[in-house]
Amino acid sequence: MGRLHIQIQQAMTMATASSANVYCTNATDKQISYANNSSLQKKVQLKTRPFLEDTIKDMLSKMVHVPCIKVADLGCASGPNTFFPTCEVMDVIASVCRQAHWESPELQVFLNDLPQNDFNTVFKSIPAFNGKPCFVAGVAGSFYQRLFPSKSIHFVHSSYSLHWLSRVPRGVEDNKRNLYIAKTSHPNVSKAYSEQYRNDFSRFLRFRSEEMITKGRMLLTFIGRSITDPTSKDCCTIWDLFTKSLLDLVAEGLVCESDVDSFNVPYYYPCKEEVREIIEKEGSFVLNKLEIFEVNWDFEDDVCNENFVLEKSKSGRNVANCIRAITESMIASHFGDTIIDDLFSRFAQHVGEHLSCEKTKYYVTIVVSMTLK
Ligand SMILES: C[S@@+](CC[C@H](N)C(=O)[O-])C[C@H]1O[C@@H](n2cnc3c(N)ncnc32)[C@H](O)[C@@H]1O
């Protein structure tokens, strides 16, 4: 049995005017839980594994041997993906230490998410880590605040969380019949989204720079877009299909049009250039790597899976369940929970139709590796 020490801590609270209290992925007791509908995010974690390995190896080769390495995983959610980065980091450290005939350091892992995350399930499912010493703590709070004491963290990791903004941007109230930046949105809408992202991501970098040790490392993976045009298909199509599903319910009198008009998602999909510019301007980190890869919306659709034959309804359902596990709490809080089943079955249908006739079917994924100056 591994030595496990569990703590939970509430991050220092700071004044926020965020809408974060209605965000959270679906807990395990929900019909469509995040734990059972996060295969896409698992695929992303597997694809970024080589980056994680390189980053940890490089960090170990350059740091003085310490008795305890402190790691933070930001936006950990709850489910099978929660412990994957921790296990990976442990394996890489163990293999480096074995080869160098060093004694393995202890590992302290801070799993962070918003306070309403299903931390109970997280704590009930901590693995044994093959007998290696690992001390796990939960840190409930927004990563757009300070979460840790100054100069305490060696490695920060975050996967598929940083495209969540701290709030819906101000100034998008007139984005009628759209939920995100769309071809029909006024240019002020994309301006408001990109400014919110710039502020949020800059703040994220500044707070982490205060919490990390000098030369500490950070590996971030999030959804982005492939070109500078913020209305590029690869980031807008999924929300266009979602809007279409809501408008179906408006046509049937199940949803008020004014509720659709006043709803916008708190996500932003940046392009590489924006990410680079914000990191350089904020100035605390050296950018080691900034790369892009694609993952298909349907986790079962894969170039490695040669047998994949599109089944419209199955693919539509896979994509809809993945989005539902992430957005249900915020959709229900705005539109009420009675429309949820109907809405996501329309959405599954529209996605299935789209996938069978058009090829915009992937998330552009950005991976960034940095060193604190
Ligand atoms: C799609 S899940 C990704 C979970 C996990 N890292 C994975 O790869 O499967 C995104 C997570 O980010 C969390 N999140 C979003 N905004 C956050 C914030 N400001 N602070 C902390 N966590 C946040 C959400 O609650 C959610 O659990």
99-132 pLDDT, tens per residue? Answer: 999 888 999 999 999 999 999 999 998 887 777 7
What structural domains and CATH numbers belong to the chain?
4-372 (3.40.50.150)
**Which residue intervals of the chain are DSSP H helices?**
39-47, 49-62, 84-100, 119-124, 187-211, 233-251, 257-261, 272-282, 312-335, 340-357
Residue nearest to atom 19 of ligand 1 (CA): 142
Residue 319 CA to ligand 1 centre (angstroms)? 18
Question: Per the structure block, which two tokens stand in for 290?
Answer: 């900034």
d(CA 161, ligand 1 centre) in Å = 4
Which token pair is 99? 């080869």
- Ligand 1: which residue has its CA nearest to atom 23? 75
Q: 222-231, 250-259, 359-368 — which is least confidently predicted?
A: 359-368
Mean pLDDT of 336-365: 90
Q: Whose CA is nearest to atom 13 of ligand 1?
A: 75
| Over residues 53-69, mean pLDDT | 93
Region 242-256: mean pLDDT is 96
- Looking at residue 16, its pLDDT comes to 35
Confidence of residue 2 (pLDDT cuts 50, 70, 90): very low
Give the mean model confidence (pLDDT) for residues 166-172. Answer: 95
Cα 97 to ligand 1 centroid, rounded to whole Å: 31
- The pLDDT score that the predictor gives to residue 234 is 83
- What is the share, in percent, of the chain residues with pLDDT greater than 90? 79
Q: How confident is the model at residue 12 (pLDDT cuts 50, 70, 90)?
A: very low
The two beta strands, 106-113 and 134-140, are parallel
Index of the ligand 1 atom closest to the CA of residue 81: 9
Sign (positive or negative) of CA dihedral 321, 325, 331, 333: positive
Q: Which of 86, 114, 319 to mutate to test the pocket of ligand 1 (most atoms within 8 A of CB)?
A: 114
Tell me how far apart the alpha carbons of residues 186 and 247 are, in angstroms, rounded to a whole number: 20
What is residue 40's predicted lDDT score, i.e. its pLDDT?
A: 95
